[in-house]
Chains A and B, each alone.
Chain A
């Protein structure tokens, strides 16, 4: 039962859409795969779309936080898109603020934001 999350490359951006509930192992596998892909493609931006995710616990949140830090070490910016209202509320109540994380309403806005960030 090893499901891998597909990582797509579009010009200099990697696009990831997470479509099912993340268990711990899948999440860690994804972390590894993404770093691998960043290294391979030398992409400068990553978009992670979470529209389909209906809950995030502290473990997944930590994986996401780590992914952002690792990407930044490898010279890439990450934008998270499509966090659902219920997920945002739960995270805030849990006390997980994901400070400094770039977010956008949807993929389109996310791409705009990413390009703006990369221009600066």
Chain B
């Protein structure tokens, strides 16, 4: 039931490709302009984080349909250094890149569900879901 598509992140251009994929999918699922902007921006932030902190990784997009609700799942995964203190990155205003990136709390506010799984030295997987209202 859940279709998926993905973009591998190697260069800055892949950030653009990932958010374009996200926007197209969001549009075809039927999200309004504001939610399209939220989704596109969230993907852009996640993809950029991969590029900045892990070097390479993947943005995967799945369509969700649980019978009643339709939605979209964004999975950002990398094999980078991982996040030593998840609580800290979830604090507003925390950044390690000197002003780049709105940080994870910002991304969390753009979506309906948000989960970080990370292990130092292994990598990070972030799952975000936006439901169609």
Contact = CB atoms under 8 A, between A and B. Distances in A.
Interface of A: 21, 23-25, 54-59, 61-62, 84-87, 89-90, 93-96
Interface in B71-104: 92-93, 99-103
B33 A25 contact: no
Q: Which 6 A-B pairs have the closest CB atoms?
A: A86-B37, A94-B106, A58-B102, A57-B44, A94-B102, A86-B34
Counting chain B CB atoms within 10 Å of each CB, the highest count among A25, A55, A59, A96 belongs to A55
B16 A94 contact: no
Majority secondary structure of chain A interface residues (helix, strand, loop or mixed):
helix
Indicate the size class of the contact surface on chain B: 20 to 34
Given A58-B100, A62-B100, A21 B16 contact: yes
Counting chain B CB atoms within 10 Å of each CB, the highest count among A23, A62, A90, A96 belongs to A90
Given A55-B44, A58-B106, A62-B99, A95 B92 contact: yes
B36 A54 contact: yes
Contacts, number: 79
Contacts of A87: 37
A58 B45 contact: yes
A23 B104 CA distance: 21
Given A21-B16, A24-B12, A94-B102, A54 B109 contact: no
B33 A54 contact: yes
B118 interface: no
A13 B13 CA distance: 33
A21 B16 CA distance: 9
Contacts of A56: 41
